[in-house]
Amino acid sequence: MSLGLGVIGCGSVFAGPYRAMIGRLRAAGRVHVSAVYDVDRVKRHGAAAHFDIDRDLRGPEDVIAAADVVLVLTSMNEHGPLARAALEAGRHVLVEKPMATSLLDAAELLELADAGPGLLVCAPHTLLSPTFRAVHAAVRAGEVGDLLTARARYGWSGPWWNDWFYGPGGGSLFDLGVYNVTSLCALFGPAQRVTAMVGVAIPEREVNGRLIGVEADDNAHVLLDFGEARFAVVTTGFTMQRYRSPAIEVYGSEGTAQLLGDDWAPEGWELWRNADGAWRVFPESDPHWQWTEGLRHLVECVETGRPTVTRPEHAYHALEVMLAAQAAGRDGVARGLDSDFPDPVYDSEWVDLDAERRAHDRRSHDGL
């Protein structure tokens, strides 16, 4: 019997790749959409019509009541409360980034997920991509020796379709930098200290044809201290028109590994080992990989009872990093960090399942 999905928030994040991913899972008979809600009537009705379901639910609580798995795709301030409500109701939850806007709210989600029956999967889902997994595996296998230093970058010229990116709670660090922070911590382990420079480099922008004042950071560099003088930098911003450089570079005592493209859209990876005296350039193995893969993963874990690869504790840590970076950006003082998270475990059953999926997707792409 297929899982009933409930979608809260039917804006661009939903209408984009999530809807496509839902479509694929539906086609495979694994899910159906049982409820949708958006405060915007037009969006709500559009989504309901698309799935041919009740278009007049009164609120998120109706979605939670009607679903096995709840997708929280609203604006950021509501992420925490909605995820909480869904977990309290015993539902499985996928929540977009950030999982909450305060550490306190985020901590509650961790506790609820820990205590209750519902699984909690937090975006970003980039740790699931085959290319990131290959980099992680190489690093864990010691291919580059001990990690010593790293760089990551993700930026672009910035969204023009919605001004919330530039208002309180928005900003490039939360919207973009979160990917790099998540990836680097997955490779190095939890950060212990952070400092940053964060600010507004372009004070006015045209959004939807209207000039607006920018209040949230659009330019940021974050330094991470992983202990024992092992450091990394995240460069992010709505201040980069185009780049031609690796997304993630990790430098170890015996070599270098780097992920190309962007961490949410990898284009292969590269490995230098001193012992080889050559770069190994791995072409992208899954060019159709989507950053909404976390939904499929959650569905799989619900189906099989297996634990999720991505852990809410990891998302919590990334949140602590970003809040501390913002604080350091304001007063120039580095912050210690308290939280911890377990190293991602890619169990072989899941890896096999995913390899199968990729083979199947290739056929789908060619054949349908």
Residue 349 CB coordination number (10 Å)? 11
Quick one: which segment of 11-19, 51-59, 83-91, 174-182 binds a second copy (CB under 8 A)?
A: 11-19
**Tokens standing for 281?**
């350039």
Closest approach of a second copy to the CB of residue 33, in Å: 13
Residues 210-229 that bind a second copy (CB under 8 A): 217-221, 223, 225, 228-229
Distance CA 106, CA 320 (A): 10
* Start-to-end C-alpha separation, the chain: 25
**CB nearer a second copy, residue 270 or residue 361:** 270
The amino acid occupying position 134 is: A
Residue 237 binds to a second copy (criterion: CB under 8 A): yes
Contacting a second copy within 166-195 (CB under 8 A)? 193, 195
User: Would you count residue 209 as binding a second copy (CB under 8 A)?
Assistant: no
- Shortest gap between Cβ of 230 and a second copy (angstroms)? 6
Between residue 257 and residue 316, which ones bind a second copy under the rule CB under 8 A?
258, 270-272, 274, 276-283
- Where in 17-36 is the site for a second copy (CB under 8 A)? 17, 19-20, 23
List, as own/partner pairs, every contact residues 228-232 make where C-beta atoms lie below 8 angstroms and the sequence separation is at least 24, other chains included: 230/146, 230/147, 230/148, 230/149, 230/188, 231/149, 231/150, 232/149, 232/150, 232/151, 232/152, 232/184, 232/188
Residue closer to a second copy, measured from CB, 101 or 235: 235
Q: Give the residue, chosen from 36, 200, 216, 323, that forms a contact with a second copy under the rule CB under 8 A.
A: 200
Q: Is 346 in the site for a second copy (CB under 8 A)?
A: no
240 near a second copy, rule: CB under 8 A = yes
Q: Which of residues 74 and 239 has its CB atom nearest to a second copy in the complex?
A: 239
Q: Least separation, in Å, of the C-beta of 148 and a second copy?
A: 4
User: Quick one: 59 or 142, whose CB is closer to a second copy?
Assistant: 142
Please report, as residue ranges, which positions from 317 to 336 form the binding site for a second copy (by CB under 8 A).
Answer: 332-334
Instruction: State how far the Cα of 276 lies from the Cα of 255, in Å rounded to an integer.
Output: 9
Question: In terms of CB distance, is 106 or 152 closer to a second copy?
Answer: 152
DSSP for 67-80, please give it: -SEEEE-S-GGGHH
* Coil vs helix vs strand at 104: helix
Contacts of 331 (CB under 8 A, 6+ apart): none
Those residues whose C-beta lies under 8 Å from the C-beta of residue 141, and which sit 6 or more positions away, are none
10 binds a second copy (CB under 8 A): no
CB atoms within 10 A of CB 241: 8
Q: Are 59 and 37 a contacting pair, CB within 8 Å?
A: yes
Token pair, residue 218, equals 């659009």
Single out the segment in contact with a second copy by CB under 8 A; choices: 118-126, 149-157, 179-187, 349-357: 149-157
Q: Which of 2, 4, 11, 15 binds a second copy (CB under 8 A)?
A: 15
- Smallest separation, CB 273 to a second copy (Å): 8
Scan residues 67-86 and list those touching a second copy (CB under 8 A).
Answer: none
And the tokens for 227?
């202990």
User: Closest separation between CB of residue 112 and a second copy, Å?
Assistant: 32
